[in-house]
Every structure is written in structure tokens, then in C-alpha cells.
A and B are shown apart, each in its own frame.
Chain A
Amino acid sequence: MNRIQKTFDSLKEKNEKALVGFVTAGDPNISESLKIIKAMCKAGLDILELGIPFSDPTADGPVIQRSSGRAIANGMTLKIALDMTRQIRQETDIPMILFSYYNPIHAYGNKAFYEDAVSSGADGVLIVDLPPEESDEMTSTWSGKELSLIRLIAPTTPVARMKSIADSASGFLYLVSKTGVTGSDGLNTGDVGTHIRTLRSVARLPICVGFGISTAEDVASVASVADGIVIGSAYERLIEENLNHADLPGLLAERTSIYKAATRITR
């Protein structure tokens, strides 16, 4: 059984939902970024989404745009992100998802990317701008099935399309909470609940919800309907607002344990 499935199974037994944390690899710099991620893992993060920065992130709001900018300015590349993945894997067993846009992966080479991602200990990949219609060119070069292909479902996705996307996905499904870029506000849990019910009627995989979730209250309310909650911009905002803080890893760890507590369902 793979790490992703194992994680969702064991959370279910504990009556918890998955806390999925997104941070940009190399923000604010490579060594600090490693410390931040390790601290978040120790503080109870269930799944790590490691963002590989792209110069033109068209699905991201200003917070993640700026974090990508900082990381690239500090020399972040996909190759270095894979090295970081390898180092993080030595200290944790949680699933790691590589999150990016297609161009950095295409430039690295699809086949080499698969091999290096698997050997570094990554469990899945989510490529924002690679819909099912275009992903064969990448997956057809893969020599195995050890990387889950996490797919996005949007509020605009019609139900028939939800089904075909779900059929081609593995690991879990990532439901975008609202039509908008990352970090936009206006989370509506009622709408999220409706979309989840529709999605569940055509999909078996666990469903994680992301975009615009920032407070522990948001986490708790989404946790009542979803299998996992993705936090991205809120973490990146915390990093950005505390770039000169003496203990950035500690801040991120503290925030992680607050979010994690909100994923435990009280019956």
C-alpha cells in the first residue's frame, strides 16, 4: 500500500482529516526552507505539498507569486527541490507531493523527472496547468506507476467531466474551493459541501479541499465535509510577514499544530 493511501486509512481510524501543507521550496532560502518543512512535519502535518516555483504562476494569487519570486531569486530549481525532497524523506514518512507548473518539468525532461522524483521519495505530483487532455505526453514516458497523479477539480467542472478526471487520477482529488486563484478570500463552506457531494457521487478517491482556507475555523468547517484540507497561501503569508523572525520554523510549526487540532473531529 502506498503512503498516501496509508495516511488516509490511518487518519480515518483516528477520526481525523488530513492536514495538507503547501510551501514553496526555497522560500525564503534553501536552508531555512528545509528547517521550516521539517518543523511542520514534526508538528503534525499529514501530507506535504512541495511547491516548485515557476516564473509565471498564472493560477496563483499575489502571496504565492511573491514566494515563488523569492525562491527563484535564491536560485531554486527543480533539481534542488528534488534534493530537498530526498533530505526530507530521511526524516519523515508522510506523503510528499511535488506541486508545480508544467514548464519546469518539461524542461527537466518528463522521463528523468519521474525517475528522480520516485528515487527522491516523492509520492505524487500535481501539475496545475496539465489537464487530463494533455498529460499523456508526460505519463507515457514514465517507467512505472509509483507517482500518484493528483488532479484538480474546480467548481466549474461539470459532473461528467468530474468523473472522467477522477477515473484518470490517483492518490487523492484536489477540489478547488472557489473559482479564483490561490489565496483569494470568500470561502463558502456551503458551496464546498455541495461540490463534494457531487464529486463523491462519481469518485472513490479521498477529496482534499484547498484555496482560500486560512483560519482554524475554516479548517474545522471544511473538515466536517472533506477528507483533507490544503493550506498554502496562509503558510506563505506567515513566512512573508516574518522574514526576519528569529524562529520562522517555530512559527510555522505552531501554526501547523493549531490547524492540525482543527482537523480532529469531535463526535
Chain B
Amino acid sequence: MNFFNISGYPDAKGHFGAFGGRYVAETLMPALLELEQAYRTIVPTPEFQKELNYLMHHYVGRPTPLFYAKRLSEHLGGAAIYLKREDLAHTGAHKINNTLGQTLLAQRMGKRKVIAETGAGQHGVATATTAALFGMECKVFMGTEDIQRQAPNVQRMKLLGAEVVPVSSGTGTLKDAMNEALRYWVGAVQDTFYVIGSVAGPHPYPVMVRDFQKIIGEEARAQIFAMCQRLPTTLIACVGGGSNSMGLFYPFLNDPVEILGVEAAGKGVKTGKHAATLTAGSVGVLHGSKSYLLQDANGQIIEAHSISAGLDYPGVGPEHSMLKEAKRVRYESIEDGQALEAFQTLCALEGIIPALESSHALAQAMIEARKRPKSDILMVCLSGRGDKDLGIVASALKKGESA
């Protein structure tokens, strides 16, 4: 295991080693500099922290539990699996930790309008929710394919008062939604705050989102000590843009703990129809930062594929790219079918319906648990609940039966 000194990252320009930075059109640069300034001066103040903590507790419902999945662990016959229950946070995923922080910051900066991109719709719902909480105007950009496959979340956003803007360019998924949100922001930057939903995008988003999400790992670290009086052996989380995973991993980076990030292998990494950016991608620049991405030899972005809308993205946050190169985190990938199986297993054995995104982390945990002694502790980030996925799971299982 490689230990990693986390101090000093990112540098003043937002670089995580060779990754990160601010690769955006000039129109947005002043806004990013203003945001960075606000993030550095407003977020650390006692007033901001006090309000954030209050809302994290009374509104989001934190701390979320750490749950020993006894039946699942016994079924697998190996290591003990502990689930960090982000599915129990308000709105049903970890995304609200970040949107609450960013929306509160937007409010303190005097902005009245927020925009967001969304894939699974969880980030869109979380942004619409905190926008409603603060009485702000909210627009959410969402690919037309995702609008189809995550219909319940579209309805939730509308009920919460947000405008859902359909994006049909490209494959109509998360990447295209982010393109369109960036374009809209270029035109509205003077009065609009862009709430990016993962540890991706230009500086300061990757560091800011990680800082709002690191509460996952901070809580989990204290909880495992309270329950088991020791550190976990291994952390496991799914990686789309990389926010729930960075949130869990970050407080453990200097600990003697093995860390596993799980990407979506879609129909299989060898088929080319996947979203395994760190596993099979190469370094380039997309959506404002330098990181691993899926691209062809000419630097054109290749479309990602995953059954899970929240992982269906050809990029990944720059801090993950750094942790990969430093060999501090190992990245694996899980195919659609394996995720579906893990989804069903958790439903049946623990009475918990996980998000398809989180099911990727679970599937990896099931593989690891079988190989390991009972004394090992695997801590899995259950990033969200799966109600939004019932339609897609039902149709995937039906297809599987008829095939």
C-alpha cells in the first residue's frame, strides 16, 4: 500500500499534481476566481459552518448510520461488510451534502439563481431541494436519455419548483447536460451560480465539492472506531465523477487503509461500451479540468455507457487521477450485470434497495469479501437509494429472462 501525503493539494491554481486546473473560456474565468475567493473566505467562517452543520443535522439528517450488513456478510462467508448509509440522507443520496454547501455559499455571495447538470437526477433533485429551501430560482440541465430512464426524479425536480431543461445533443446523457449547463452559464454568469454535482469541473469545484462531501468519511471513521475500535481494512465506493468516493476516501488517505474505487464497466471494458475512465482512459481536458477521460486518438471524447445514469460519464475528477497515478487508490470496474446482481442481493438479504450506482461498489465488495478472512472490515459507501432505478431494473431483468 502506498501512503500519500495529502497536504499541498491542490496547489494555488487548482492542480492536483499533473491534473485539475481551470480550462475554461475567458468569460468564465472571472467567475471562477470570484468563486474561489468566496469559497476560501466565506466557507471557513464560524457563521457559515454553524449554519451548514445545523442544516446537515436537522435538514439532511446527518450523521447517516454505519450499518453492519450481517446477513450479507454471512452469506458471502468472508470479510465483514459495513455500509455507510448515504441512501438515508434527505433526497436519498450523498449529493445533498454538496448542494447544501454550494447553495448556502451562493446565497452568501448574493446570487439568486442556481443551475445544475444531472445524470441520475439525484444531483438535480438535491439542487432543486436546497434551492427551494433558500427560495432560489433553479434550472437543471438533463440529457433526454436520462430524462427517460430516471423519470421519477424529473417529476420530483418539477414538484420542487425547478425547471428541467432537456438536452438532446450527443447521447443525451450527463456529459451533454454538463456541456449545456456550461454554455448557459457563459451567458448568465453575472447573476447565476453553477452548482456542479461532482468533484469534476474547473478549480475550485473539485476541492470545494470534496470538502463538502468529506463529512461522509469523517463520520464513518468515527463510527467504525466506536463500533469496532479500529480502522477498516478496505474502503470501497463507486466512481462516476467521483464525489461520494472522494468524500469517503479523503479522511482516510493518511491511514493504513486499502482504498478501492469502482467504475462502471458497462457491457464490458473490452466491448468499448463502458464508463471505466481511470481503468481504460487516457489523460486529456474536458469540462474545465485535466484528468483521465475516454477519448479517441484525435482527442475527441468517446461516449460512455452504463446502466447507471450517475456513472455514465466519460470523465472523472482530477483528484482521482492523481490518486491513481500515486497508486494510493486502486480502481476496479464492474459490469452492468454484476451491478444488477448486487442490487438484488442487497434487497433480498438486508431489506435495502440501493441505487444502481452504489450497486457497483457493492458488487466489488461482494467479490472482495469472498476472498478475505472474517476479521477484515470492508466499508462500502452506499451512496444512494434505488427507488429511482426500479423501472430500469425491471426492464433489464425482463430482457435478461427473455434472452
Chain B associates with chain A: yes
Contacts of A60 in B (CB 8 A): 183
A77 close to chain B: CB less than 8 A: yes
Question: Which of A56, A57, A106, A154 is close to B27, meaning CB atoms less than 8 Å apart?
Answer: A154
B23:A129 contact, CB within 8 angstroms? yes
B186:A181 contact, CB within 8 angstroms? yes
Chain A 94-125 interface mask (CB, 8 Å, partner B; 1/0): 00000001111111100000000000000000
Q: What is the CA–CA distance of A106 and B301 in the complex, to the nearest angstrom?
A: 13
Of the candidate stretches A1-9, A130-138, A191-199, A256-264, the one touching chain B is A130-138
B299:A107 contact, CB within 8 angstroms? yes
List 12 interface pairs A-B (beta carbons < 8 Å), by A numbering: A54-B299, A55-B300, A58-B25, A59-B186, A65-B169, A103-B301, A107-B298, A129-B285, A152-B25, A156-B189, A157-B26, A179-B190
A156:B27 contact, CB within 8 angstroms? yes
A216 close to chain B: CB less than 8 A: no
B330 close to chain A: CB less than 8 A: no
CB distance from B249 to the nearest CB of A (A): 26
B26:A131 contact, CB within 8 angstroms? yes
B21 close to chain A: CB less than 8 A: yes
B84 close to chain A: CB less than 8 A: no
A104:B298 contact, CB within 8 angstroms? yes
A59:B25 contact, CB within 8 angstroms? yes
CB distance from B69 to the nearest CB of A (A): 40
A interface residues, tally (CB under 8 Å): 42
CB distance from B20 to the nearest CB of A (A): 10
Q: What is the CA–CA distance of A102 and B297 in the complex, to the nearest angstrom?
A: 14
- Restricting to A147-182, which residues have a CB under 8 Å from any CB of B? 151-158, 161, 165, 176, 179-181
- Restricting to B183-199, which residues have a CB under 8 Å from any CB of A? 183, 186-190
Question: Which of B30, B190, B298 is close to A157, meaning CB atoms less than 8 Å apart?
Answer: B30
B300:A72 contact, CB within 8 angstroms? yes
Question: Which of A55, A102, A152, A156 is close to B285, meaning CB atoms less than 8 Å apart?
Answer: A102
B388 close to chain A: CB less than 8 A: no
Measured CB to CB, the residues of A under 8 A from B are 54-61, 65, 72, 77-79, 101-108, 128-131, 133-134, 151-158, 161, 165, 176, 179-181, 184
B175 close to chain A: CB less than 8 A: yes
Q: Name the residue of chain A whose CB is nearest to the CB of B181.
A: A58
**Beyond the given A56-B301, A57-B179, could you list 6 further A-B residue pairs with CB under 8 A, ordered by the A residue number?**
A56-B286, A56-B287, A103-B284, A103-B301, A107-B298, A181-B186
B22:A131 contact, CB within 8 angstroms? yes
B190:A106 contact, CB within 8 angstroms? no
Measured CB to CB, the residues of B under 8 A from A are 13, 21-31, 169-170, 175, 179, 182-183, 186-190, 284-288, 295, 297-301
CB distance from A67 to the nearest CB of B (A): 13
Contacts of B286 in A (CB 8 A): 56, 103
Question: Which of A108, A134, A158, A184 is close to B23, meaning CB atoms less than 8 Å apart?
Answer: A134
A179:B298 contact, CB within 8 angstroms? no
Q: What is the CA–CA distance of A59 and B300 in the complex, to the nearest angstrom?
A: 16
Contacts of A57 in B (CB 8 A): 179
Q: Please report the number of residue pairs spanning A and B whose Cβ atoms sit closer than 8 angstroms.
A: 115
A133:B22 contact, CB within 8 angstroms? yes
Q: Name the residue of chain B whose CB is nearest to the CB of A53.
A: B300
A161:B30 contact, CB within 8 angstroms? yes
Known: A56-B286, A58-B182. A129 touches B25 (CB 8 A): yes
Q: Name the residue of chain B whose CB is nearest to the CB of A75.
A: B298
Q: Name the residue of chain B whose CB is nearest to the CB of A59.
A: B25
A179:B285 contact, CB within 8 angstroms? no
A54:B23 contact, CB within 8 angstroms? no
Q: What is the CA–CA distance of A56 and B176 in the complex, to the nearest angstrom?
A: 8
Contacts of A129 in B (CB 8 A): 23-25, 285, 288
Contacts of B27 in A (CB 8 A): 59, 152, 154-156, 176, 179-180
Contacts of A101 in B (CB 8 A): 285
Known: A58-B287, A129-B25, A152-B26. A106 touches B299 (CB 8 A): yes
CB distance from A230 to the nearest CB of B (A): 14
Known: A55-B301, A102-B23, A103-B286. A179 touches B183 (CB 8 A): no
CB distance from A70 to the nearest CB of B (A): 13
Q: What is the CA–CA distance of A108 and B297 in the complex, to the nearest angstrom?
A: 8
A58:B298 contact, CB within 8 angstroms? no
CB distance from A133 to the nearest CB of B (A): 6
Q: What is the CA–CA distance of A106 and B284 in the complex, to the nearest angstrom?
A: 7
Contacts of A134 in B (CB 8 A): 13, 21-23
CB distance from A42 to the nearest CB of B (A): 30
Contacts of B13 in A (CB 8 A): 133-134
Contacts of B183 in A (CB 8 A): 58-61, 181
Q: What is the CA–CA distance of A184 and B187 in the complex, to the nearest angstrom?
A: 9
A104:B25 contact, CB within 8 angstroms? no
B179:A56 contact, CB within 8 angstroms? yes
Question: Which of B179, B295, B299, B300 is close to A58, meaning CB atoms less than 8 Å apart?
Answer: B179
Q: Name the residue of chain A whose CB is nearest to the CB of B183.
A: A181
Q: What is the CA–CA distance of A152 and B26 in the complex, to the nearest angstrom?
A: 6
9 nearest A-B residue pairs (beta carbon): A107-B299, A104-B299, A180-B187, A154-B27, A152-B26, A59-B25, A55-B300, A58-B182, A103-B299
CB distance from B21 to the nearest CB of A (A): 5
Q: What is the CA–CA distance of A77 and B170 in the complex, to the nearest angstrom?
A: 18
